[in-house]
Amino acid sequence: MAFRELVFTVSEDLAEDLGDALMELGALSISVSDAAADTDSEKPLYGEPGLTPDRQAWEQSQVIALFDEQGLSAAEISLALTEAGFQINAPSERSVEEQDWVRLTQSQFEPIQVGQRLWVVPSWHDAPNDPNAVCLAVDPGLAFGTGSHPTTKLCMQWLEEHPDLASKTLLDYGCGSGILAIAAKRLGCGDALGVDIDPQAVISAKDNAQRNEVIVDFRLPEEDSTHSQHDVVVANILANPLQVLAPALCQRIAPNGHIVLSGILERQAQEVIDTYQPWIQLHVWRECDGWVCLTGQLMADGTDQTSSDTQKKTIENSSKSIELAESAELANPSKNKKSLTLIGWISLAVLMVVIVLQLFHLGRHAIALQITKTPTSIQEPLFKAFKSLDSLLCKQFSCQDIPLRDFSAWSIELANLKINAGNNQNGSNQTATGILELQIRNKSPLLITWPHVMLSVTDANDAVISEKLLRPQDWLPEDDAKVTPNGSQALQEVSSNIYLSLPQQAAGFRVRLLYVDDKPRDAPSE
């Protein structure tokens, strides 16, 4: 059976609407590509779920519609589009003959050299003639991870360039095809664990591990109940879920362990780094085709490398004071013996005080969270003393005011859902519109991270019929100049009207504020 392809070249504002119109005219499939592909003018478009790309289409887009031989002719389709209001040129037409599509697809995947030694070789290709090559047999399948995407390459390069994997354990969170955990094992890694929310990905990963003759424990999240810590935690997902998973992933890093994150666009890097700041200091390890790989190391005392270096510098400076005192004693021992002994004790005392203050500074977030859990009657004087000392230390140590994640800091002042029934009825897909009036207050005198809002819609029997998770950027008011994206200021109150599409049978609701791994707080239903 032969097919026909009609190729339209249109401006970016017409591409989506034209595709929809062609589907209504009987197109079997629609694809959109850059009309300037394979030229110097080609421009890649990047985006991910929950993040709007800078551009929605190319300046000149090719809309390719596939029709069977019995469908409308090109002339009939052009006439129908003109009558629908499209002012476009006539399409070009080309025949698509029936082929061995499996073999054709396989021909598009060649062996990929990822690093100096790592290769990804599909099963239908021979391994490269290189005695030092480490080859991974991974076929394109239903799970992400074939070695071709820049984010996968970056993670594999990091694994290859850290030859001390032999004695390490590894967690691949969001493992997909399992390619990263398998690569680590082939490079000599010890125990490896892969976790993914997609059951199909777990099946694919297990098959790939068997094909590569390595042992990796692949699981679903609900099967990963031990929450074990690992020397290397790698997650190649997307920026948004990486930010949500920040506390959970950092808890999985063993002392002196590393974290490796990818799936992050260059323009998203700083936002991800800021999100992880309370737990670990990340930096850009390498960039590839607009994507970055972030890494960081958690020190044995639970601090990151940067904090450890600061503390070391402070101790070294204090030690120099002691050395100077000892030098003075050698110059005139009889005259200054008593005074130098006193100086030595004073220097030691100063050193101890500096260390204590440094430790206080490093643990400022944890201390602040503990204060929020004290009885209300003593919170205010404790916070005043804490803020005064913290402000003084911040001037000395040049700290940043990082927002805290404290669920107990929030109170729901108002939650009201106005439902307008009878709108947008289309067969069985009956929906209603609604406005969620939400007012919450930060009770803490500290900068607190904005929470997520979970709206659970119930029917007349109080059964939950739909749930919507609203991120801060989804519900925070855009017109309030006092609302900053980095967090809620001390004792700040914010109100927002959130416009929603709801099931037609909606009768009640529940509103909850939550962070990852926190117990949500309920608001009264109506």
Sign of CA dihedral 421, 424, 426, 428: negative
Is the pLDDT at 170 greater than 70? The verdict is: yes
CATH number for the segment(s) 112-297 = 3.40.50.150
Chain centroid to CA 412: 28
Is the pLDDT at 69 greater than 90? The verdict is: no
C-alpha distance from residue 164 to each of 167, 231, 312, 416 (Å): 7, 11, 25, 56
Beta-carbon count within 10 A of 292 CB? 25
CA–CA gap between residue 386 and residue 393 (Å, rounded): 11
Q: Is the CATH number 3.30.720 carried by domain 3-98?
A: no
* Helices 376-397 & 364-371 angle (0-180, nearest 10): 170
C-alpha distance from residue 314 to each of 115, 228, 266 (Å): 40, 34, 34
Q: What is the DSSP secondary structure assignment for residue 223, as one 8-state letter? A: G
Contact 499, 433 (CB under 8 A): yes
Q: Which pTM value belongs to this model?
A: 0.46
- Give the highest mean pLDDT range of 102-106, 379-383, 428-432, 476-480: 476-480
Is the pLDDT at 241 greater than 70? The verdict is: yes
The confidence score (pLDDT) of residue 172 equals 95
CA–CA gap between residue 327 and residue 317 (Å, rounded): 16
Going from N- to C-terminal start, the domains of the chain cover 3-98, 112-297, 305-397, 407-523
**pLDDT band, very low/low/confident/very high, at 397 (cuts 50, 70, 90):** low
Chain centroid to CA 147: 20
CA–CA gap between residue 278 and residue 448 (Å, rounded): 12
Mean pLDDT for the stretch of residues 181-186: 92
Q: Is the CATH number 3.50.50.60 carried by domain 407-523?
A: no
Instruction: Find, among 141, 94, 104, the residue nearest to 120 by Cα.
Output: 141
CA–CA gap between residue 365 and residue 394 (Å, rounded): 13
